[in-house]
A and B are shown apart, each in its own frame.
Chain A
Amino acid sequence: MFQFIIRRTVGAAVTLFLIGAVTFFLFVAAPSDYASLACGKDCSPTRLEEIRTALGLNLPLHTQFWDFMSGIVVGRDFPTGHCPAPCLGQSFYSGEFVWDTIMDRFPLTLSLTVGALIVFLFVGIGAGMLAAFKRGSMVDKVATGGSMVLSSFQIYFLGPIALTVLVYQTGWMEDPKYVPFTQDPLGWLVGLSIPMVVMATIFTAQYTRMARASMIEQLAEEHVRTARAKGMSQKYVFFRYAWRGSLIPIVTVLGIDISALLGGGVVTELTFSLQGIGRLAVNGAVTKDLPLTMGVMLFGAFFILILNILVDIAYAYIDPRVRLS
């Protein structure tokens, strides 16, 4: 286990470094002059130079890159103050430390993605298993058909409909908003329930189908038959033996889907006017704020890596063969 963690940490660090490099050099390669963007309307050449210096744009590219990356580990000093590690630089635009900005926005994205994740895993796997259990029945048809239709929709299409029906027309619910979980768990849930459910809907369908298919497949497995031959009840066999195995493909796909989840978060944030990492990414890209973009990309990758490690731990938990090898 210890070795596993070490290996994963090293791998993650390398990945993050590479992603940082790709992001940085792509960004720098773009034909935009960040200093003149930050310079504003009354931009004299001297001022431009000053801004260049202030933003560190006068330094050679590799120095800029190294400063940024090393800042993550040891922190950096800016004219406006010390930026403690992990320092993702200082926004060209707002002058805030990117890490602080991300930390301010991240709880929302985390709530949204993890909330949606829980919803779609529960609903998706639940519906899929139910469909497999009652294979061929009305329940099965509704679950599979419904999931198909819903998966063809989009967040930016379902979102406004949900808002219109639940908020604007009827007033049943309040406008989506973020309340910190630690402050008011119920408010947190209520405030984000519409975005979470809408976002989850898009993913649910896929997982319903997958859960159903892999459950049906598992039911045909010999060890499941063995369990029945032992006289274990159908339910027991279904929910113990078959279920366990059916989770593996689901977890695999989940690992691949995590970055899509983050993308879903972006669209959801935009659709519901919420302020999370996704909006930050859009702002960073649009305002050509290199540190912000770098920070968000790295943080996004970090988030994906963490969730991937969790997925692998889940793997090991589900399948003892993985655990020991």
Chain B
Amino acid sequence: MKSFNSRRARAIMVVIATGSLVLTGCSENKGSSSGKDSKKDQAEAAVQSKPVTYGDAAASTGPAEEVPGAKPGGTIEVYQEAGLSHLDPGQIYVSDGGQVANLLFRGLTNFEEDGKGGTAVVGDLATDSGKSSDGGKTWTYTLKDGVKDQNGNVITSADIRHTVERQYAEFIFDGPTYLQTWLSGPKYRTALPDGGFGDKHLPATVLDTPDAKTVVFHFDSPRPDLPQTLAMPGYGVVPEKTDTKAKYDTAPVSTGPYKIAEYKAGKSMKLVKNTNWDPKTDSVRHQYVDGFNFDFGVTESTQTSRLIADQGASKNAIQLTGSVESTQIQDVVGNAAVNKRTIKGYQPYVMALNFNLDRVKNKAVREAVAYGVNSKSLIAGEGGAYGGDVAPNLFAPTLPGYEPTYDPYGRLKTPQGNIAKAKEILKDVPAAEKKLVFAYANSEAGQKRKVAIVDALSKIGIEVVAKEVDAASYSEQVGKLKNPYDMYINGWGQDWPSPGTVVTPIYDGDQVADGSPNYSHMNDPEVQKLIKKALTQEPTEAAATWREAHHYILEKVLPGAPLWYTKQLQLYGSNIGGARYSAESSYIDVTRLFLKS
């Protein structure tokens, strides 16, 4: 799962909107059309949804291609509203941690983007993106020469094994679980309770390290996506000798181009150059600037105001995972000079109104809601056209297999809801079933969503009981199997560009559990069959299977009504060079930034 945002980011509810106070109120606002931009975005999205290619040894050899005009020196200011929840790579799953991990940690593989929409997986610590055999059941990685951590220790296959094995330990709980599950099954923790810290290790039939440079993974079924899985920040290497277990989370050992010089949780972090990082071993990252100063606690609205103003230190500043404050979008987009300094693109998230299938059993009700919801008003709450786009289905534009015109509930035609149709469907539904409990996070954004949902659904004759849930525990609360709610809004995004990372976690009946992202508790044998089939198929065949599953889920089951696709709009200071959108992270690409002066 790539959850929509870090817990803390969701939790920090207080957004103080700031704005420059030039009285422009007396001029008439005739409304400008951003439709053009919208179409451009759609085209870009198509580019973004290109499948990933697997790079060979040549592509994996450093140094990375020079960024045009790049020059060394200077320190980049990084604005971020909420502090990082984790620095232990094993615990990193959410995007803010991922962005930082890209500067600090290296895994076996990494994504490399060409800036034109092409994304490749290349070898990072490994010489290439991995060699599969046995029909995709066995993957072999060879480590590059001369890769050292910040202490100058050479990274060996033992470190890789340790990195994998520590994921089995109890103190790692927020990171990705794909690899462990594939290696040892869903109850993987029982396979190695002490996480490899003792004498016990995974058997060589599962994870083999025949020599200091070779790592071999053995799976019981084909895992064609492994190179992409290993590129997740959560599988960044943790050198065995310097692992401090739980304490590692605040003081990790760096293998990337930068290392932590000072870290004050929730307040600030200073990164400086890691002199033991050798550019010749890295085909993706650069080390142009001397360091990064992370400034946590800068609200999105302050970030936006500062970056629009572009004064002093803000010229050297970027937003890490924050985006332009929704109230200030017009100031950014409406001003050509500022608009030049933006990063735009689709994020991988699809926001959906998920139904608790254990409670809302009448499909007519779900259908009526799907017809009746007002995507436009919800998007308006996110900042309008630049905050999101109407989602006709459950696949994001960044996902391979995205179908822009697949629109079973007429969302594109009536983005404000098809009230007549919904009413008609509800005609024969007894009143008791028309009362739905809607849970929302008690934050500013959550309250806005509540207003839109209640407004839209009351129009079609649904009685909505809006129940606030503490913003910090929203995911936990609605993630409970026995939650008392009928519907809730959740966002979901791919972990890597494959429908498998969307359909499997959120619609696979096997995943129904407390805290599972299968928020609708959907357990449909037909879907499970399709998932099983697709996961072992080659990409082109799999695409068709995923498509079938998608259509089946949306039309036959309807576990949730698609609402909107989220879009990214980030701003950076005028002195920042090399800024571009990373389709993989859906944020600014931090590996290639430099300061112009």
Check A169/B14 contact, CB under 8 A, given A104-B267, A273-B299: no
Tell me if B475 and A168 are in contact (CB < 8 A).
Answer: no
Chain A residues near B21: list those with CB within 8 A.
160-161, 164-165
Question: Cβ of B189 and Cβ of A169 under 8 Å apart?
Answer: no
Asked if B296 and A282 make an inter-chain contact with CB atoms under 8 angstroms apart, the answer reads: no
Q: Which residue of A is nearest B517, CB measured?
A: A41
Contact status A163-B12, CB under 8 Å: no
Q: Are A286 and B250 in contact (CB under 8 A)?
A: no
Segment of B96-104, B302-310, B486-494 engaged in the interface with chain A? B302-310
**CB–CB A271/B250 < 8 A:** no
Which size bracket describes the interface of A in this complex? Answer: 35 or more
Assembly CA distance A275 to B517 (angstroms): 33
A42 within 8 A of B: yes
Give A109 Cβ to nearest chain B Cβ, in Å: 13
A275 touches B173 (CB 8 A): no
Chain B 169-200: CB-based contact to A (< 8 A → 1; otherwise 0) = 01001100100000000000100000000000
B428-459: contact bitstring with A at CB < 8 Å (1 yes, 0 no)?
00000000000000000000000000000000
Binds A, one of B311-319, B355-363, B417-425: B311-319
Q: Within the assembled complex, what's the spacing in Å between the Cα atoms of A114 and B305? A: 28
Interface residues of A in 154-177 (CB under 8 A from B): 156, 159-161, 163-165, 167-169, 171, 174-175
Q: Is B471 an interface residue when CB atoms closer than 8 A count as contact?
A: yes
Stretch binding the partner chain, chosen from A66-74, A94-102, A200-208, A313-321 = A94-102
Q: Are B267 and A275 in contact (CB under 8 A)?
A: yes
Secondary structure of the B contact surface, majority rule = loop
Residues of B within 8 A of A43 (CB): 173, 514-515
Contact present for B16 and A271 (CB under 8 Å): yes
Contact A171/B13 with A42-B515, A94-B266, A275-B266 known, Cβ cut-off 8 Å: no
Give the number of A-B contacts (CB < 8 Å): 130
Tell me the complex Cα distance, A42–B186, Å.
Answer: 11
Residue from the list A168, A270, A273, A282 in contact with B309, Cβ < 8 A? A168
Chain A proximity of B15: nearest CB distance (Å): 9
A171:B297 contact, CB within 8 angstroms: no
The CA-CA distance from A160 to B17 in the complex, in Å, is 8
Shortest Cβ gap from A321 to chain B (Å): 46
Is the CB of B22 closer than 8 A to any CB of chain A?
A: yes
Q: Which residues of B contact A286 (CB under 8 A)?
A: 11-13, 471-472
Residues from 78 to 115 in A contacting B, C-beta threshold 8 Å:
79-80, 93-96, 101, 104-105
Q: Which of A50, A160, A271 has the most CB of B within 10 A?
A: A160
Q: Tell me whether B173 and A39 are in contact (CB under 8 A).
A: yes
- How far, in angstroms, from A298 to B309 measured CA to CA in the complex? 39
B170 adjacent to A95 (CB under 8 Å):
no
Q: Are A168 and B305 in contact (CB under 8 A)?
A: yes
Q: For A23, what are the chain B residues with a Cβ–Cβ distance below 8 Å?
A: none
Contact with B along A270-292 (1 / 0, CB 8 A): 11111100011011001110000
Contact A164 B250 (CB under 8 A): no
Q: How far is the CB of A44 from chain B (nearest CB, A)?
A: 7
Return A108 CB to nearest CB of chain B, in Å: 10
**B265 interfacial by beta-carbon distance below 8 Å:** yes
Contacts of B19 in A (CB 8 A): 160, 164
Any A CB within 8 A of the CB of B18: yes
Q: Is the CB of B11 within 8 A of A40?
A: no
- From the candidates B12, B20, B473, name the one contacting A164 in the complex (CB within 8 A): B20
- Scoring A residues 233 to 277 as 1 if CB is less than 8 Å from chain B, else 0, what string do you get? 000000000000000000000000000000000000011111100
Interface residues of B in 502-557 (CB under 8 A from A): 514-515, 517
- Name 10 extra pairs, CB < 8 A, besides A41-B1, A101-B266, A270-B16: A36-B476, A40-B173, A41-B515, A94-B83, A96-B250, A101-B265, A270-B299, A275-B266, A275-B297, A279-B297
Point out residues on A near B: beta carbons under 8 Å: 32-33, 36-37, 39-44, 46-47, 50, 79-80, 93-96, 101, 104-105, 156, 159-161, 163-165, 167-169, 171, 174-175, 270-275, 279-280, 282-283, 286-288
Sample 15 A-B pairs with CB under 8 A, ordered by A number: A33-B473, A41-B173, A41-B174, A41-B479, A47-B173, A80-B246, A156-B16, A159-B18, A160-B19, A161-B21, A164-B21, A164-B305, A167-B311, A279-B297, A283-B8
A-B pairs with lowest CB-CB distance, top 5: A168-B309, A160-B18, A164-B20, A273-B302, A171-B311
